[in-house]
Structure 1
């Protein structure tokens, strides 16, 4: 029968370094037992603080799945933060995910250092060296990361113009809290901040930053909404308003619509999977759309298939409604 390893000293906690363990009198053999994980060289983790997994569940609510995957990234970032040298910081997709931007939070941790420091080399780490003029570093929930505008600029080396617009829209968005109240100071950064990042100096992807910047707008709540807006502009549809409060004649708030063509009383609602899988959301949508129609609006409902399909039809659908409502190109 296999012996259970002796308990580790409680003073070590769930995460500790090799040096801390040896100073507490723990032998090398004990540190190699199966109940101790080694996520990075020199860092040890007990089962209580082991990774929560990748958070993927094809049948789960998409928002819950994304939250779980981002929580797992935070776990990994905080673990590595125990080893990170003082001048290093999280950058690239890792920093973007930590800030809540719409990027895939999986993959290796991306760590950067300002030149002339040497980029770290560790298993599971993607490292780079960055000019000090091109990045501002701040602390976000206890870890060091490039600030939102700098992060956007660093992503330009590997992202397309469309991806940079999606990220930029997310950065400048003013979030709404309970009751639909907007928080003007809640944006991660402003368009002026992104302009300053673009003007900071030459870098890989600078042409894509310059192309993306004038396409970024305040008010887009999701990458899918950004994609529709870009598609609509490309197809010559009139300028739309984003994140619009719809009220009745007494000023009562009926709902907040993603995209509105005010002059023609046409509203575009872009529906992700949560509109289909959440019974509460589904019922709320039905009530809201009925209220919009009662006020003389026509509601166009679109899904990802209409916007990102092999042959996107979203702009054509909206165009036909606008023409019927009096728009003349």
Structure 2
């Protein structure tokens, strides 16, 4: 499907960035058989219009933080006043408005032994109810199909960086704390720009960034509204799955083209999934024809996404 904003080249470029967020424009241009100037111009337009943003984030284990999935029931007239300060918080890594503005869900990154951020949320006059769930594990290791279906298999192979065999998160140092906020705002910031901001040599910045990537400490994402890709319905699925079937159901959902995220959580629901569909009819068909047939699901609650206020964490 075409949209008023994204053409075929835009979609291929976005797919390329999902494969390697810092791939040089010249390499993307060579694989897509267009000029480097064209890729540079397209990248600039996507960023300037707010259509897409390439960001960086760090593995929470490198900072000793836990991820809390916090669900807020909010008075409709107080949503705007609540969302703006929440989105500005450095410990808020993801924030979405749900159910027509009566709910908000965020991922809060906090030190494991520090309940203060949760207490602050509960004290807001706009919050009617708050529940918190630990995000135990991300159970989907690939991108949503709608973002990564524009390139041929050969093009994707040419752009995909070599497997690093990550050794696990490394401890952050002073250089990291200087360059990571820059990468959170623009993951394609050049090495000279990062070096100027950090006050370190370009070669030191390059080596450290390579180390963070190889270890899996640093990850990248491309923020884009799924509606621009022709998918108008997003929904959170709160699932209660029998423990013996939890891994099997999670694997099944993660393999579906409609699924954008699957995570294991604590609380009365033990699995959270985010689904993206073309329209309401496609979503209904997915619920009844696919999820309804999965063995082990004991209860399901569907909550439609109204809008996103923040999608990716500051890398700090």
Please report the TM-score for the alignment, with normalisation by the length of structure 1.
0.29
Which structure has more relative contact order (CA 8 Å, sep 6+)? It is 2
